[in-house]
Structure 1
Amino acid sequence: MSAILSADDLNDFISPGVACIKPIETLPAQPEKALNDYEVTTEDQVAASAPPPPAQISLTDCLACSGCVTSAEAVLVTLQSHTEVLSTLDTYRSLRAPWGSQNGASNGVNGQHAEGKLFVASVSPQTRASLAAVFSVSEAEAGNMVAQLLSGDAGLKTGGAHGSDFTWVIDTNSTREACLVAAADEVANGLAPEALKKPSDPGSEGAIDTTPKKPILTSACPGWICYAEKTHPYVLPYISRLKSPQALTGTLVKSVLSRRYNVAPSQIWHVAIMPCFDKKLEASRSELTSSVWLDSPDASQDPVRDVDCVITARELLHMATIRGINFSSLPRTPVPAVQRTPFPDPQIDAFLFPPSRRKNQEAAAGSSGGYLYHILQTYQAQNPGSSISVARGRNADVMEYSVVNGSEIIIKAARYYGFRNIQNLVRALKPPKVSRLPGARTGVSRRPPGRGPAAGSDVKEYAYVEVMACPGGCTNGGGQVKVSEVEDVRIAEGIVSLNGEAIPSRPGPKEQKEWLGRVDEAYFSGEEDEVVDADGMRDGRAEGEGDVVNGISRRYIGEVVSHWSSVTGVDVKNLLYTSYREVESNVGKKQNDVERVVALSSTQGGGW
């Protein structure tokens, strides 16, 4: 893992785990004995076995352990860093379409030794905003610089063993639109009468085919999801089943490319450039692999992750430095269109690479994708004459929203950012403790009044709660460039000063807050280019009256998702949604010798 990640970078810290359940014990090696050779000995005469090999702790192990409740788990990532990106590019050559041979031999597919890979990258708008603030450029220009690094003539292809680069660089705002529409649909289904909902079986909380309970809690933040699964499983029935834009992009890229190009998912390598280290946790989830959408997976091969690697803005800059590339000198214009390889499906290509650039959500929507605000706008569009009211809670990271029409409240929702506020949220959702005393009242909450974002509010009154682990939202992710690093980055790039701006030598919390303001300004300042076709349709998208919410056509998104499902032969449910599960741990639990041996033998494929 990159040395740039340390505990000081983590702003969603709760408490470290006191133990790790990753076993380093092994069953004793069986001594070689001659036939009919039996020996009786006492326990203290048994020779000490060879020391066990060093424990290799991966992120998957951390996801299966409830001993830690902090994004410090990302420190244990060994195969998700900028060095892994460069290593993979140096190991495999970039595959390009059209293929030289239908059987794939000339392109190294179908198990050929010197196989190549289709390299795909997806970039979040928060990452672009962080880089824009560092180099005093617009968010669009920062995005162009990233694309030039990944696939331009002056980028990564200038070095490495094979000159490999990324064939496609995708803006996650495209798939985010699908997520926003799906989130609004999920809330509408969640508010439907109970008689219309599918009953859930006991123990199926968090299953992909169940409807979340009210209030529906955002699922796009992996730090929050990991925290809920490990420490508060009673909130799993409330969590949205919707995939994040990162996960949805990974599923779309690998499922479509593998079908259209007839290549194995393992030959498609997808890196996501995200604002926080917790996104590495998300990419390591077993639920987000090819086993979900591949109709006939090879039993002899392990499932392939939809997102192979996640790096952050800081790691992206380190990657450029290692290759000897001055990031600030990269062209700020898009990669020439003549160099672009069309995605192998025209409708998906138009969706991922629209002719007009999509801007981020407006400032009122926040810097975390605008899930909550899009849902509010959807209900506002469905109720002409209504308005959105906002009430601040106990701090700036707790807000309450309502769509009102006169004195009628149509829908209530809230925003909870930062783990301190999330802890209050999960306490409010905790089931009342049932007394064991005979004749005692049950189901009585002793929670003091006024604990919600506004005095007298009850969390369960909300239809939706946008939950993010980082205070201030995703632009404040742990992988973003901090104000204390700006000067070093600029010096490394040969930049003396930008517009006379001076960064304090020892910036403190005040300077960091001001810096986040600059990142947010870059995030919200992007302009949207409008391209209207001959029929008067924006970007060729089918739009109907009342169909468009904040520039996003629900009908168009529905057509794209339906086409995606038909191309891959996968049900829409498995493409858009995922599942969550309670993570149990034996940390702190005592085991007798029999239980310990059974556990060890089962890990070795044995048993009684």
Structure 2
Amino acid sequence: MSAILSADDLNDFISPGVACIKPIETLAVQKPEETINEYEVTTEDKVAAAQPPPPAQISLTDCLACSGCVTSAEAVLVSLQSHTEVLTTLDSHTPLRAPWLAQNGKDVATKPACNGVCHCTNGNHAEGKLFVASVSPQTRASLAAVMSVSEEEAGNMITQLLSGPSGLRSGGQHGSDFTWVIDTNVLREACLVAAADEVATALSPSTAHPAAIPDADGAIDTTPKKPILTSACPGWICYAEKTHPYVLPHLSRLKSPQALTGTLIKSVLSQRFNIDPSQIWHLAIMPCFDKKLEASRSELTSEAWLPASHSTTTSSPVRDVDCVITARELLHLAAAREINFSSLPRTPLTTSHRIPFPDPKLDAFLFPRTRARNQIGPAAGSSGGYLYHILQTYQARHPGSTISVSRGRNADVVEYALTQGPETIVRMARFYGFRNIQNLVRRLKPARASKMPGARTGAVRRPNGAAGGAGGGEGVKDYAYVEVMACPGGCTNGGGQVKVTEVEEVRAMEGVQVANGEVLPSKPGPQEQKEWLARVDEAYFSGSEAEAGVDGDGDREMQDADGPSPVQQVERDDDVVGGISRSRIHDMLAHWSHITGVDQQALIYTSYRKVESDVGKKKQSDVERVAGLASTIGGGW
């Protein structure tokens, strides 16, 4: 949706669409009292405004609740979450240092009596904030390709910028920086295990799927229907909610790694430090602008998990993610503070700069001794590997089974099948890019009932050849799971990543010296962008601990092919799938729920809703509204 938008690119006047859900109130011109005729009827179309209406005020939340905007109004909303907003927030609030040490030489950080606001020795007060950041692996891969460093070194440079002595803390009004920088890969592992559990539960023969209730479609406490569709891509979610609400029962209820990280940060820190969630400020660094929309969803706030007994200083719910910026905006952030990003240390922060997370078990999970790796190969895709991990989980439960992969009509449509002899255990597919997504949702559209009396339900008309699956076989409704992402090529190709047309400019600005003497064309085109994306993907997959030609769990990599390419399973412990211990993740989730007193469902799942719009619909007149009201109460004319 916002693939090419950046706050720095705005140079046009943007206004809301004519059918915006936030209409501007217009008042009738008040006639002089002596001329008012109390028997005169003034129709709505004759009412004139007393004065020019004020400018419309639109927020990201409003945009998410509207499907009628016909202008580029979303672009102006990007500026609400930008590197400028990060710097403004850092300069407007004194940092809450954790642990806020020290009364009589004793650590009181986890005692309810000390809330980080009062009774503290470092001078913090009600305006202070605890700053925490989370970074996606796709962002690290983009910067790694630009700076000609490894993905791990790029991650260290980001941490040095946000938390290191030569980073943000070296400037600004208060010397504020980020207390923790979390790799979203660790929360991605929790998402993968939870996604596999959700699919297994939904497809279990014992799971009942009652008739769909319109108001419950997409509710947090409902079980998704087959085929289950990935919910980690906010561009895809907005598209589904606004244009194809019939797919909502199919959406996975699982939060994305960004959202899950935000929930964990604010729920745990507010409970352990006894501070209001509004005093915790979470910055997420993501590959796409649509993640800004996800952060603004009303479902992803403290209202979903904060116990009713917990008093807050704010009247409105607090967002789990306060601000989202991209790789390009991160470079702007460094430049605004006159920090040369390429000159930042490429090594991790020293132990003297590290502050333990306030729960030992979660500290070991969020900051493992060995850095969290992707644990996936190219076969899993560049968007987190949801489908691949679920497929591996099924494979681990069926020893001797094989996985085959076949390419669909283009490289962004891929079909997977797990077979054991002649039996097909499960089928899944990957659909990337809106062109392919449109074909997917078209095939999921329910059949229209015939209006002819006594006729049977009619079938939906489909384009020629659309009845088949990714490879022209069975229909998409036979898939158990579909990984859906809005960006062609997946998340490494997000709109916030550094594009090939910007690489030379960024390198010149940062003084990057390319070791291999690489020279990009002066006017790169689509083919050069494709080649550049391959380099970003290479950096992304280099974060895996796997050996060349072998993916994270020891299987040989699956290669896309025009025809089926079987991959034989290797014996493994059923608990460890793709290098991820399922029992360890379940234990961590149970511990998180226990220490916060919040049910796991409220912590890791979310909900979706149909977005109503009256765009293009005939506006009901006053007479029709009155007649409808009269008929409902038994009256009439």
- 1:108·1:116 contact (CA, 8 Å) conserved in 2? no
- 2:288·2:497 contact (CA, 8 Å) conserved in 1? yes
Matches within 5 A, 1:341-490: 341-360=355-374, 361-447=376-462, 448-449=464-465, 451-490=468-507
Matches within 5 A, 1:58-207: 58-68=59-69, 73-99=74-100, 102=114, 104-106=116-118, 115-193=127-205, 196=208, 201-207=213-219
Indicate the RMSD between aligned Cα atoms, in angstroms.
Answer: 3.0
Alpha-carbon shift at residue 435 of structure 1 (Å): 1.0
Q: State TM-score, norm by structure 2.
A: 0.84
In structure 1, the residue corresponding to 2:284 is in which secondary structure? strand
Partner in structure 2 of residue 284 of structure 1? 296
Opposite residue 337 of structure 2, the aligned amino acid is R
- 2:228·2:480 contact (CA, 8 Å) conserved in 1? yes
- 1:21·1:586 contact (CA, 8 Å) conserved in 2? no
1:546 to 574, 578, 590: 574
Alpha-carbon shift at residue 516 of structure 1 (Å): 0.2
1:21 and 2:33 matched: no
Alpha-carbon shift at residue 57 of structure 1 (Å): 1.5
Opposite residue 90 of structure 1, the aligned amino acid is D
* Distance (whole Å) between structure 2 residues aligned to residue 30 and residue 106 of structure 1: 53
Alpha-carbon shift at residue 560 of structure 1 (Å): 0.2
* Distance (whole Å) between structure 2 residues aligned to residue 597 and residue 265 of structure 1: 44
* Distance (whole Å) between structure 2 residues aligned to residue 485 and residue 142 of structure 1: 18
Opposite residue 616 of structure 2, the aligned amino acid is G
Partner in structure 2 of residue 581 of structure 1? 609
- 2:78·2:289 contact (CA, 8 Å) conserved in 1? no
Assess, with a 3 A threshold, how the Cα gap between structure 1 residues 18 and 32 changes in structure 2: closer, same or farther: closer
Alpha-carbon shift at residue 216 of structure 1 (Å): 0.1
Opposite residue 25 of structure 1, the aligned amino acid is I
- 1:70·1:223 contact (CA, 8 Å) conserved in 2? no
* Distance (whole Å) between structure 2 residues aligned to residue 576 and residue 587 of structure 1: 34
Assess, with a 3 A threshold, how the Cα gap between structure 1 residues 481 and 295 changes in structure 2: closer, same or farther: same
* Distance (whole Å) between structure 2 residues aligned to residue 409 and residue 345 of structure 1: 45
Alpha-carbon shift at residue 75 of structure 1 (Å): 4.1
1:210 and 2:222 matched: yes
Partner in structure 2 of residue 534 of structure 1? none
- For structure 2, the residue ranges without an aligned partner over 5 or more in a row are 104-113, 548-571, 627-637
- 1:484·1:507 contact (CA, 8 Å) conserved in 2? yes
- 2:24·2:56 contact (CA, 8 Å) conserved in 1? no
* Distance (whole Å) between structure 1 residues aligned to residue 446 and residue 210 of structure 2: 22
Partner in structure 1 of residue 567 of structure 2? none
Assess, with a 3 A threshold, how the Cα gap between structure 1 residues 19 and 514 changes in structure 2: closer, same or farther: farther
Which sits farther off after the overlay, 449-458 or 420-429? 449-458
Partner in structure 2 of residue 519 of structure 1? 536
Which sits farther off after the overlay, 501-510 or 227-236? 501-510
- 1:65·1:583 contact (CA, 8 Å) conserved in 2? yes
Q: State TM-score, norm by structure 1.
A: 0.88
* Distance (whole Å) between structure 2 residues aligned to residue 527 and residue 214 of structure 1: 31
1:570 and 2:594 matched: no
Partner in structure 2 of residue 233 of structure 1? 245
Opposite residue 313 of structure 1, the aligned amino acid is A
Alpha-carbon shift at residue 47 of structure 1 (Å): 8.0
Q: Per-residue CA shift, 1:310-339, capped at 9, x if unaligned?
A: 000000000000100000000000011221
Partner in structure 2 of residue 561 of structure 1? 589
* Distance (whole Å) between structure 2 residues aligned to residue 198 and residue 355 of structure 1: 46
Opposite residue 334 of structure 1, the aligned amino acid is P
- 1:212·1:240 contact (CA, 8 Å) conserved in 2? yes
Opposite residue 291 of structure 1, the aligned amino acid is E
Alpha-carbon shift at residue 596 of structure 1 (Å): 12
Alpha-carbon shift at residue 143 of structure 1 (Å): 0.3
Opposite residue 210 of structure 1, the aligned amino acid is T
Alpha-carbon shift at residue 518 of structure 1 (Å): 0.3
- 1:89·1:160 contact (CA, 8 Å) conserved in 2? yes
Q: Per-residue CA shift, 1:4-60, capped at 9, x if unaligned?
A: 35699xxxxxxx9964414342152897999xx994376699885232211112111
In structure 2, the residue corresponding to 1:270 is in which secondary structure? strand
* Distance (whole Å) between structure 2 residues aligned to residue 7 and residue 83 of structure 1: 17
- 2:395·2:401 contact (CA, 8 Å) conserved in 1? yes
State, as a whole percentage, how many aligned pairs show the same letter: 68
Partner in structure 2 of residue 54 of structure 1? 55
1:313 and 2:327 matched: yes
* Distance (whole Å) between structure 2 residues aligned to residue 327 and residue 439 of structure 1: 71
Assess, with a 3 A threshold, how the Cα gap between structure 1 residues 486 and 7 changes in structure 2: closer, same or farther: farther
Assess, with a 3 A threshold, how the Cα gap between structure 1 residues 104 and 456 changes in structure 2: closer, same or farther: closer
Partner in structure 2 of residue 509 of structure 1? 526
In structure 2, the residue corresponding to 1:169 is in which secondary structure? strand
- 2:29·2:50 contact (CA, 8 Å) conserved in 1? no
* Distance (whole Å) between structure 1 residues aligned to residue 588 and residue 398 of structure 2: 26
Partner in structure 2 of residue 536 of structure 1? none
- 2:115·2:273 contact (CA, 8 Å) conserved in 1? no
Assess, with a 3 A threshold, how the Cα gap between structure 1 residues 308 and 516 changes in structure 2: closer, same or farther: same
Assess, with a 3 A threshold, how the Cα gap between structure 1 residues 49 and 338 changes in structure 2: closer, same or farther: same
Give the count of matched residue pairs. 574
* Distance (whole Å) between structure 2 residues aligned to residue 173 and residue 70 of structure 1: 36
Matches within 5 A, 1:529-540: none
Q: Per-residue CA shift, 1:459-510, capped at 9, x if unaligned?
A: 0110000000000000000000000000110111123544211011110001
* Distance (whole Å) between structure 2 residues aligned to residue 411 and residue 439 of structure 1: 37
* Distance (whole Å) between structure 1 residues aligned to residue 614 and residue 216 of structure 2: 22
Alpha-carbon shift at residue 256 of structure 1 (Å): 0.2
- 1:21·1:67 contact (CA, 8 Å) conserved in 2? yes
